[in-house]
Structure 1
Amino acid sequence: MTRDPNGKPDLDAAYALETPDDNRKLYGDWAETYDKSFAQNMDYQLPAHVARVFAELGGTGPVLDVGAGTGLLAEALSTCSDVVIDALDLSADMLAVAGQKGIYRTLIEADLTKTLPIEPAQYNGIVSSGTFTHGHVGPDALDKLIALARPDALFVLSVNAEHFEARGFAAKFEALAPKITDYHIQTVSIYGASGDRAHTHDKGHLAVFRRA
């Protein structure tokens, strides 16, 4: 795994992930220090943006936090909305850290590219921050998430802007038109001004919609 000069996992290594095993290895090694070595040092704003939009649009629970990691999105959401939240993530190590925060009702270890151990139509809200980016999870996973949602469930999913069209997300959302309503995009900064200057201009598209 690539590391920066201070011995911390490198953001570029995270962006280079391609397989589930790559993800487990990097995030397993990163889990205990992720909140400080990455989120604080990079001024990571994306989870707060997703939480804010979900709350502003009146999102209700139960909510599934997809790619929950150490629980940054749930922490942000808990400050602006009183909802029950479940965590879904590939990394058992990241989920273990998230579980220590006492935010989630349930921790679900699962791979979005495989069959999910969740019954259909369980959630009134589905959120995600940083999962649909440079890694192994592509737009086809959206079908599985829609199946987990109840009618009129609110989705706020971040997708790395650089790959929104290149990796097929734009086309996928067009194809999902019969299944979703009120679809629109909000573009936000992934990192704040006090983070790494090399990534100051990185953008995320928030795909906002409801299940039809």
Structure 2
Amino acid sequence: MPENKDSHEGPDLDAAYALKTPEDSVRLYRDWAASYDSDFASSMDYRLPQAVADAFAAAGGAGPVLDVGAGTGLLAEGLARHGIGPVDALDISAEMLETARGKGFYRELMQADLTQGLSIADDSYGGITSSGTFTHGHVGPEALDELMRIARPGARFALSINAAVYREAGFAAKLDSLGGALRDLRLEEVPIYGAAADPAHRGDTALVALFVKA
């Protein structure tokens, strides 16, 4: 999902940034699912999903992977280019997952609200990835506890966090608080969009948080 209009207006980047509740997300992405790849990803030269996939692969990430906030499957497509799998999808939007289903990159698709906890067993995944979910108006740092729970010891994480909210929304403090529960934390700053993006957002960046569950 992407990196301020009121949530009742049409789907676009400003509406996504203005989300306030999970219900807002469900409504927005329901209306955006069919056109997301063309209206947003293509027109904005959205490069973040591939950047996260590349960082995960370069760090030695392997499956099984949970793709958090999977949307239409752009990150899984990037992982497939590296031969990484299997990959499962998690997203709050059933409609976005249906769009992703048709691409064939996922083993399983799960509709759930990450902020309410997941019906996934402890230590289920060898990798956790996410692109565009930890950003303005979306999921906050408290969700990291649940992702740590379902990751196996030694699991590799690659999570994009919008650079503009990394400190102010509490992500830096949360990662610090996890202390010995993780190791090898490093942040890789990457552009969210390419040169063809709207000039208002062309310079936006994200921090890919790379770490291992201890």
Judge same fold: TM > 0.5, yes or no: yes
How far off its partner does 1:2 sit? 2.5
Task: Write the deviation string for residues 159-208 of structure 1: whole angstroms up to 9, x where unpaired.
Answer: 01000000000000000111000001000110001111110110101110
Q: Which residue of 1 aligns with 2:38?
A: 36
How far off its partner does 1:117 sit? 1.4
Task: Write the deviation string for residues 96-127 of structure 1: whole angstroms up to 9, x where unpaired.
Answer: 10111111000010001102011110000000
How far off its partner does 1:83 sit? 1.3
Q: Which residue of 1 aligns with 2:5?
A: none
Within 5 A, what are the aligned runs for 1:169-208?
Answer: 169-208=171-210
What residue ranges of structure 1 are gaps of 5+ in the alignment?
4-8
Question: Retained in 2: the 8 A contact 1:55–1:81?
Answer: no
Q: Which residue of 2 aligns with 1:50?
A: 52
Cα-Cα RMSD = 0.8
What residue ranges of structure 2 are gaps of 5+ in the alignment?
1-7
How far off its partner does 1:130 sit? 0.2
Runs of 4 or more above 2 Å deviation = none
Task: Write the deviation string for residues 2-53 of structure 1: whole angstroms up to 9, x where unpaired.
Answer: 33xxxxx221000000101100000000000000100000000000000001
Question: Retained in 2: the 8 A contact 1:192–1:200?
Answer: yes
CA–CA distance in structure 1, aligned partners of residues 138 and 58 of structure 2: 30
Q: Which residue of 2 aligns with 1:10?
A: 12
Question: Retained in 2: the 8 A contact 1:161–1:203?
Answer: yes
CA–CA distance in structure 2, aligned partners of residues 45 and 183 of structure 1: 23
Percent of paired sites with the same residue: 56
How far off its partner does 1:82 sit? 3.0
Within 5 A, what are the aligned runs for 1:61-140?
Answer: 61-140=63-142
Question: Retained in 2: the 8 A contact 1:124–1:153?
Answer: yes
Which SS does the other structure have where 1:162 is aligned?
A: coil
Which SS does the other structure have where 1:146 is aligned?
A: helix
Which SS does the other structure have where 2:19 is aligned?
A: coil
- One-letter amino acid of the structure 1 residue matched with residue 130 of structure 2: S
- One-letter amino acid of the structure 1 residue matched with residue 126 of structure 2: N
